[in-house]
Amino acid sequence: MDVSFRPIVEQDFEAICTLVTSEEELFLVYDRGKYPLTTGQVRRLTENRMEPTVMLHHGRVVGFGCYYSYREAKSAFIGNIVLDRSMRGKGLGKRLVSHLIDRAFGDHDLPLVKLHVYTRNLPALLLYSALGFQPYAMKVLEDYEGDPVLLLSLGLSRDAWLGR
């Protein structure tokens, strides 16, 4: 499937809001967000992130992701990964995350990328495992309804990525 990537622009904010279709999904993508996701929340989110990136299919925004907690020459977290519901199951999540990994290791010369994922997000867990991410920590938190949820911290080294 033909996709491209580019930095986010303000005109993309509304499209990103439409990618998040439920309170549960918003929690998994942006656990500090309030459903429904608004353009103001997207604006605030992108102001605190590094290289917010959209994935386009035929000129339409179908995915979003970024970096946060960037530590020069050390690591960055990949986060806020979301895909249009109609585009899931077609390998686009893998392409979006792989694009961010390649940029982190290539353009930013980082030795390590990390991410957080809730254990109830099975599709994301399977994707990250297939890409070579390994767990290194876990923490019990509360979800948007106050119920306990397990957050896994995963990491991927440049050597492991290049050696796959």
Residues 70-100 have pLDDT tens digits of: 999 999 999 999 999 999 999 999 999 999 9
Whole-angstrom Cα distance, residue 123 to residue 11? Answer: 29
Note down pLDDT in tens along the chain; length 164 residues. Answer: 899 999 999 999 999 999 999 999 999 999 999 999 999 999 999 999 999 999 999 999 999 999 999 999 999 999 999 999 999 999 999 999 999 999 999 999 999 999 999 999 999 999 999 999 999 999 999 999 999 999 999 999 999 999 98
Scan for tokens 């990537």, then name that residue.
Answer: 5
Which one-letter amino acid corresponds to residue 120?
Answer: R
Q: How many H-runs (helices) and E-runs (strands) does the chain carry?
A: 6, 7
Question: Which residues have a Cβ under 8 Å from the Cβ of 122 and sit 6 or more positions away?
Answer: none
Q: How far apart are CA 51 and CA 63, in angstroms?
A: 14
Amino acid at 21: T
Strands 112-118 and 75-83: parallel
What angle separates helix 92-106 from helix 122-130, to the nearest 10 degrees?
50
The domain locations on the chain are 4-162
4-162 maps to CATH 3.40.50.300 = no
